[in-house]
Amino acid sequence: LFGVEPLGTSSKLGDHAATMTYGQDGDIHGFRTKVLVDENGDPAPVNTLASGLDYPGVGPEHAHLQKIGRVSYATADDREALDAFYALSQREGIIPALESAHAIAFAMREAKNNPDKSILINLSGRGDKDLDFVVETYGFGE
């Protein structure tokens, strides 16, 4: 199993929300999990085009699953997520949520390296809620 998190515009603290990749054990909102923290140990600012992933922590279930080796976590940056958003929309007529577009980007990358493997992606949300933002900010794609 893989989880894919947002790398935003870079791996620099404040430019992403990749908590499982760059976070550390900590407490946030009353529970122990992995958290992105600044130099003072406070929750760090995060950045991603997917508003549903714009948070410096993760559910404790994710932290536990990573700790026991059940799930591996990878990242996809904003550009990869947008490319995946456009690809699925144009090729299949499915408009993914920007949150799910990160998983699509990872799967597209993995498919190139593993052409004989089957990949299952869980899509959540609805991409139609993101259309205005995507078109106004990035245009209609290539």
Does 12 or 141 have the greater pLDDT score?
12
**Percent helix, strand and coil across the chain, each rounded to 5?**
40, 20, 40
For the domain with range 74-138, which CATH number is right: 3.30.70.3040, 3.40.640.10, 3.40.50.1100, 3.40.50.150? 3.40.50.1100
Q: Which residues pair with 76 in a beta bridge?
A: 6
Above pLDDT 90, what percent of the chain? 89
Q: Are 46 and 38 in contact (CB under 8 A)?
A: no
Q: What is the pTM of this model?
A: 0.92
Of how many residues is the chain composed?
Answer: 142
Tell me: the pLDDT tens digits for 27-77? 999 999 999 999 999 999 999 999 999 999 999 999 999 999 999 999 999
Domain range summary for the chain, segments of one domain joined by +: 2-73, 74-138
Phi and psi torsions of 10, nearest 5°: -170, 175
Query: Residue 137's pLDDT is what?
Result: 82
